[in-house]
Structure 1
Amino acid sequence: MSLNMKNVLIIGSSAKKSTSLETLVIQNISNLNDLKAKLNDIIQAGKDYEYDVSSCLKNLLSHTDADIVVLSVQAISELVKCEDKRETYAQKEIIEPIINILDKELHSGNSELLKQCCRALGNLCCNCDAARTVILEFNGVPVLVKLLEQTLGKSDANNDEIKLLASKTLLNFAIGGSEYSEAIVQGGLIDVLHKTLLLELDKDEMCDDLVSTCLLILSVINENTPEFLFEEKVNKAVLNVLKETDNVEISDLCLDHLHLQAEHDSVKTMLAVEGGVQLVCTRVEALMRRRDAGDLSAEGAEADAVLKQACDLIIIVLTGDDYCAQMMQDHIFDKLLDIFEVYNAFGLRMLKEPERARPVEPATVSKVQHAVLAALRNLIVPVPNKRVAAAKGRAAPLLLSALPHVDDHHVAYKLLAAIRMLVDGQESVARQLATNREALSAVARWGHAGEHAGAAGEAPRLLAWAGKQLRHSDHWRHIVEVEGCISSLVNMLIVCHSVMQNEAILALTLLAIESLNKKSPSNESPSDFDYEKSFISQLIKSEIGKHVAVLIETNNAKMPKEVAENLLAFLDITSKNNKLAFDYKEAKVNESLKKFCESRKDFSDDLKACINGVVASISDNGKAE
């Protein structure tokens, strides 16, 4: 959840200009009962009261009658619900006396007065830096923190209400910015919030309003000071609240807090050790069950936000690869697949029945899929986890079946990346991709989506990695059969990263070795499909010569020797074919190679001899037909 803080208390309409007559009327009331009646009238009118009587109320704060003081503070708290009136009352002559009242020991006789004082300060500093500054100047923060401490462990209606009001006042104060949130940190509020959360966790039923307020204060600190690291006990308390709550909003706040804190390695460790990811997945499963049962009709958007936050948190924790093996054993991978399957089904339903009522918004479907796929991808980076995921046999069919139907390029990017991680070192998964013509066509399609760099970059990498795994089987032929696969690999030759260039070269070399040997796939009857002819035709159509020339010329001085050696191996194989040699010659690849050889002093004599041999091959074989 990106923090978009709302002030706790109400903002009202504008006030009219004050009149001296109303002030005089109040000042001249001598009868206490009449004065109380007048104050009650002001309280009842509240933000709509049309006169400025700040000077009267300021004086009444020091009245000898306790009831008059209570009513005067209450009148202030009601009047400053009007934003236009707030600046008028944000003065030290009003705020200092209220702080002084709050500084007294809490007892049953003054609980109502303290409640009204908290309400008044909370409303005064709602979107009002002037009031916040006065509160800061007169040490209002430590006074409010001390008041909160007095309420800890005292569970009765009055104490609970004061605790909530004081917390909301500090929230409104802290929202003003880093100066104010730093003041509450220095004032010792975090320790009090921690104790408050622990006390709520011990109850049979937590007070959602109080817990939400505490979590919102932590969020303000997080937001104003992103690098701030809370003590582990505080983060553990938030994790335990997430475990205990059924409230969607509180779940979202907990996840938001943990997500921001998980930027610190110590918090990642804590979450992994304390079973945080397992808990998050369990929470997600519970929300999905409630959605399916129709229990979240009024909270659908909040539930979607929780799902997105949960997945994002899992992704962050998974950047510590030390915990990935344990998470695989804890079936986190399977739970993530469950979430992806549900949201993929939502997406398919929207495609097939666009007019049907949507249980989830399309944007939410994309966000959750994107987050889940990123988590899946991170989880299967370690080699042992790839083996486990491939052996279970569920992931590859599910992800490959989803690929042809994805139209959001952000989701496609993460889906392609997850499949690529799954293909790595797993020939069985590469075979599944190769034999799934729809999935392979989708990879080729995304490989040509140049306007979407992420997906367009992942698609040919997936083809290259799959080709590497298929070098010992006959399934390589499917990459040649499906239109667009070869051209995707050719396009990858001129990306800016040498690693990806090398992957493309190796994949094309392996396909060249197989396609140009003029043999039918082993263990099968001769095929009608001419792999040699198709491979050559697709290379030429993809302008292989121009791509190779650009690759050489733009990387002349910086091309790693390993990449140069692999490129020459590819050219050595393909330049023996007349059509390809002619395409190279037309693109002046031979001339580019000569310049390349002359400019590189780090090349060995053998490598230079190889370059000269390829130049000669292009010159000799590149003849027009």
Structure 2
Amino acid sequence: MDDAVSLLSKLTVSETEHQQEKTIAQLIKLVCELNEDEDESENDAVQEKIFHHDAMDLVLRVLQSKETEEKESLLISCAQLIAELAKVESLREPLVNKGFMPPLTQLLPSKNIALATQVCRALGNICYDNDLGRMAVDKEKGMQGIIEVLSQQINNKEEGSARLRVIVCGFLLNLTNDCEPLQERAIECNILKPLDECINCHLDDEDLTNMALLTVGSLTELESGKLSATQCGLLDTFKKLLERDWKEHPVDVILDLIATLMESECAKDRAAENGLCQVLANIVNSDLENASDIKAVSDIFISVLTGDNSMEKIYASGEGPLFVQSMDWLSAEKEHLQTLGALAIGNFARRDAFCIQLVEKGVVDKLLTILKGTIGQQDSFMLQHAVLSSLRNLAISATNKPHLLSAGVLDTCLSLIHTEHMAVVFKLLGVLRMLIEGQEAAAIKLGQERTFLECLTDWCGQAHAGVKGEATRVMASLVKNSRSAMVVQNLVRAEGLGHLVAMATSEHLVMQNEAVMALTIVCSTALGEAAVALKEADLVDTVSALLKDPNLPPEMLCNVLSLLKAVLSAENLCDEIGTSGVADIVRSLSEGHADQKVKDMATSTLTLLDQSISPS
């Protein structure tokens, strides 16, 4: 503390700029030593004492001086002193309030590298986690100053220019990080363009690359930043960085940035055009061992394929090199490559025409070979999930269903029903539902697999919402596509009908309608076997609740009334209907509903109701 006071006192009485500069240099040395000391509280107190000394008024006056060229050396020292003091968190706001921001910001575009360096350091340190400092820089139009400095230094080869480039990027990061208004301002000023140029011109400068990438990461948190980054060519730059020697660059940071940009369709299209996906494929084919990097590369590749245009460009009528590579991955020895290949094929299969072509190219046999190899291997669930995702998409096409069934997809899927992973079960059910749609024989066959039906009933009661919903849809699909009394009887034995009744009150209208249609078929084909189970599942209360629902569309109301007609054949349910008040609800629909089809259906249903529940 005594050394600091002595130097400050000496500074206030210094008569020449040379003496002032010499004293400030000693102060800087002292402050630097304090910053490196582990006793932060005591050191901060010393620096606060320095800040509040009258000598700081002299430092401020020097920075405010208009005679900058004559005082450049002294200005450098003053700016450096502020930069060191600003490392103390408690001094950042006071430095702003004392008025240091305007003169520092005005000095920002200086062509003197040493001065620009220290000014950027001072401003960057003040702005670190300090919104007051950030707003002060913005008020003084500091963003334009940053762009000017960066643009001046992009191609500069003078001594100190490399360090200045890094420091300018660091200043920009501190200015914008987690600060949306300043991020927006930077993007409006098109700051990403000079950042991109800076990286491109100095690809071998690891410090600059790291800092610039972190800064880009801050700016691309906003949607406008993602768009600007794509438009200014940063995806091409990321490709160059990964091409040079991805092991020597911060690959995780680059991959995170690319993944962020892939949230936009524009970026996906660019990645499909500029060869970035091929670079990613080369990386994943290499000896990359880091599991998180492998996943990141794979996720980006698949993200590109989720875009309709980008997927079509990569598919290239089934001749694209990356499509061919995806097919080859299915035969790879490494599981992560097989998984990537399966996920890629699933995305190519989103388009109906491609879906059919893929089956013609023999992809089903490749997928089944992989799937059969994972049976009983619980740790291969990610691969199973990927393969099943592809098979589900391939099974959507009506043209493909017979081919998949004849290839043995249904039987192979049944061999996986005892898996412990609900994510795999979800995809498995999706494949089966798509396979039996419109395929009566397949639905009847599946409806006779009693072990599967028992599992299906268990899944209908799962806490996993996706599995529960998909399982009930498979059950409804079994009834609809088989229209078999035997299948209904098997579902009764498996105690599954209660889940169909519960499905009729789903929050999803599509699932409600599927359940109502399936229950109508149940009542039409095997009501005698199903009546007790339907009564125990409170079917009549469910029908009553649906008919009362004011939000139910007319088409759905007609389907519920059809179900009610089918139920009336069961004596035990007919008695319950007679005491439930359903007749009054139907009468109200026949008299007052706005849709004529509903009124007509309600009228005919009411006639049947009166005949069925009237005493003989």
TM-score normalised to the size of structure 1?
Answer: 0.69
For 1:270 and 1:616, the matched residues in 2 are separated by 68
Q: 1:495-510, aligned counterparts within 5 Å?
A: 495-510=506-521
Q: Is the contact between residue 83 and residue 118 of structure 2 (CA under 8 Å) also seen in structure 1? A: yes
Structure 1 unaligned residues grouped into runs of 5+ = 1-15, 352-364, 517-531
Q: Is the contact between residue 108 and residue 119 of structure 2 (CA under 8 Å) also seen in structure 1? A: yes
Residue 612 (structure 2) pairs with residue 618 (structure 1): yes
Q: Is the contact between residue 401 and residue 439 of structure 1 (CA under 8 Å) also seen in structure 2? A: no
Q: State the superposition RMSD in angstroms.
A: 5.2
* Alignment partner, residue 501 of structure 2: 490
* Alignment partner, residue 255 of structure 2: 251
Residue 31 (structure 2) pairs with residue 37 (structure 1): no
For 2:59 and 2:73, the matched residues in 1 are separated by 13
* Alignment partner, residue 546 of structure 1: 541
CA change 1:335–1:146 in 2 (3 A) is same
Deviation at 1:85, TM superposition (A): 1.0
Q: Secondary structure at the match of 2:262?
A: helix
Q: Secondary structure at the match of 1:538?
A: helix
For 2:441 and 2:275, the matched residues in 1 are separated by 32
CA change 1:538–1:426 in 2 (3 A) is same
* Alignment partner, residue 360 of structure 2: none
User: For residues 504-552 of structure 1, what are the alpha-carbon distances to aligned partners after superposition, in whole Å with 9 as ceiling and x for unaligned?
Assistant: 1221233344435xxxxxxxxxxxxxxx53x333212211122122222
Q: Is the contact between residue 23 and residue 56 of structure 1 (CA under 8 Å) also seen in structure 2? A: no
For 2:434 and 2:395, the matched residues in 1 are separated by 6
For 1:323 and 1:375, the matched residues in 2 are separated by 19
Q: Secondary structure at the match of 1:90?
A: helix
For 1:26 and 1:169, the matched residues in 2 are separated by 29
Higher RCO by CA contacts (8 Å cutoff, separation 6 or greater): 1
* Alignment partner, residue 72 of structure 1: 78
Q: Is the contact between residue 256 and residue 309 of structure 1 (CA under 8 Å) also seen in structure 2? A: no
CA change 1:190–1:420 in 2 (3 A) is farther
Q: 1:64-143, aligned counterparts within 5 Å?
A: 67-90=73-96, 93-105=99-111, 110-143=112-145
Letter in 2 for 1:614: L
* Alignment partner, residue 236 of structure 2: 237
* Alignment partner, residue 8 of structure 1: none
Letter in 1 for 2:460: G
Q: Is the contact between residue 487 and residue 538 of structure 1 (CA under 8 Å) also seen in structure 2? A: yes
Q: Secondary structure at the match of 1:39?
A: helix
Q: 1:108-187, aligned counterparts within 5 Å?
A: 110-154=112-156, 158-175=160-177, 177-187=179-189
CA change 1:153–1:283 in 2 (3 A) is same
User: For residues 70-90 of structure 1, what are the alpha-carbon distances to aligned partners after superposition, in whole Å with 9 as ceiling and x for unaligned?
Assistant: 343233222211110112222
User: For residues 296-335 of structure 1, what are the alpha-carbon distances to aligned partners after superposition, in whole Å with 9 as ceiling and x for unaligned?
Assistant: 5xxx5x877x4897499469636x8985994996359963
For 2:481 and 2:341, the matched residues in 1 are separated by 26
TM-score normalised to the size of structure 2?
Answer: 0.70
CA change 1:187–1:577 in 2 (3 A) is closer
* Alignment partner, residue 28 of structure 1: 13
Deviation at 1:121, TM superposition (A): 1.5
CA change 1:120–1:604 in 2 (3 A) is closer
* Alignment partner, residue 526 of structure 2: 515
* Alignment partner, residue 195 of structure 2: 193
For 2:116 and 2:294, the matched residues in 1 are separated by 37
Residue 580 (structure 2) pairs with residue 596 (structure 1): no
For 1:337 and 1:71, the matched residues in 2 are separated by 62
For 1:17 and 1:471, the matched residues in 2 are separated by 96
The structure 2 residue matched to 1:468, chosen from 480, 486, 490, is: 480
For 1:474 and 1:282, the matched residues in 2 are separated by 51
Letter in 2 for 1:251: L
> How many corresponding residue pairs?
545
The structure 2 residue matched to 1:578, chosen from 571, 584, 601, is: 571
Deviation at 1:23, TM superposition (A): 2.8
* Alignment partner, residue 50 of structure 2: 52
Letter in 2 for 1:515: A
Structure 2 unaligned residues grouped into runs of 5+ = 331-338, 347-369
Q: Is the contact between residue 166 and residue 212 of structure 2 (CA under 8 Å) also seen in structure 1? A: no
For 2:142 and 2:473, the matched residues in 1 are separated by 60
Deviation at 1:251, TM superposition (A): 0.9
Q: Is the contact between residue 386 and residue 421 of structure 1 (CA under 8 Å) also seen in structure 2? A: no
Letter in 2 for 1:405: E
For 2:414 and 2:120, the matched residues in 1 are separated by 55
For 2:10 and 2:549, the matched residues in 1 are separated by 87
Deviates more, 1:84-93 or 1:538-547: 84-93
* Alignment partner, residue 519 of structure 1: none
User: For residues 409-455 of structure 1, what are the alpha-carbon distances to aligned partners after superposition, in whole Å with 9 as ceiling and x for unaligned?
Assistant: xx977876676556655678867865666665454345345x77665
For 2:494 and 2:96, the matched residues in 1 are separated by 73
CA change 1:475–1:165 in 2 (3 A) is farther
For 2:181 and 2:238, the matched residues in 1 are separated by 28
For 1:191 and 1:396, the matched residues in 2 are separated by 56
Deviates more, 1:452-461 or 1:322-331: 322-331
CA change 1:136–1:571 in 2 (3 A) is closer
CA change 1:463–1:125 in 2 (3 A) is same
Q: Is the contact between residue 280 and residue 297 of structure 2 (CA under 8 Å) also seen in structure 1? A: no
Q: Is the contact between residue 447 and residue 459 of structure 1 (CA under 8 Å) also seen in structure 2? A: yes
For 1:422 and 1:199, the matched residues in 2 are separated by 55
CA change 1:438–1:590 in 2 (3 A) is same
Give the helix-richer structure, 1 or 2: 2
Q: Is the contact between residue 446 and residue 459 of structure 1 (CA under 8 Å) also seen in structure 2? A: yes
CA change 1:494–1:140 in 2 (3 A) is closer
